[in-house]
């Protein structure tokens, strides 16, 4: 399992994937390298999701769970 939090950024009003280890610092950095002050991060996962973050989470899942689970049969 990967430790990802989907939270909304006040900069672009998109929901980004943040690693749990990076949360709580002055700035949060999403998987897509979007950086935002923690004061502008809303801890809700509703809204438009960042396409780059979605793709990167998919890659992480394929790596940790194995590519065979993600192949069409």
Record the pTM: 0.81
Domain locations in the chain as residue ranges? 4-67
Q: 26-57 in b/e burial notation, b at 16+ Cβ within 10 A? A: eebebbbebebeeeebeeeeeeebbebbbebb
d(Cα 57, Cα 53) in Å, to the nearest integer? 6
* Three-class DSSP category at 63: helix
The predicted pLDDT at position 13 comes to 95
Q: What is the pLDDT of residues 6-62, one digit of tens each?
A: 999 999 999 999 987 555 578 889 999 999 998 999 999 999 999 999 999 988 888
Comparing 10 with 3, the larger pLDDT belongs to: 10
The predicted pLDDT at position 21 comes to 58
Q: What is the pLDDT of residues 61-70, one digit of tens each?
A: 888 877 655 5
The predicted pLDDT at position 30 comes to 94
């Amino acid at each position: 399992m990967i430790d990802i939090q989907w939270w909304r950024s006040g900069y672009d009003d998109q929901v980004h994937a943040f690693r749990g280890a990076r949360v709580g610092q002055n700035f949060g950095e999403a998987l897509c390298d979007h950086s935002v002050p923690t004061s502008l991060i809303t801890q809700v996962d509703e809204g438009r999701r960042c396409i780059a973050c979605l793709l990167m989470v998919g890659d992480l899942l394929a790596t940790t769970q194995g590519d065979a689970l993600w192949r069409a049969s």
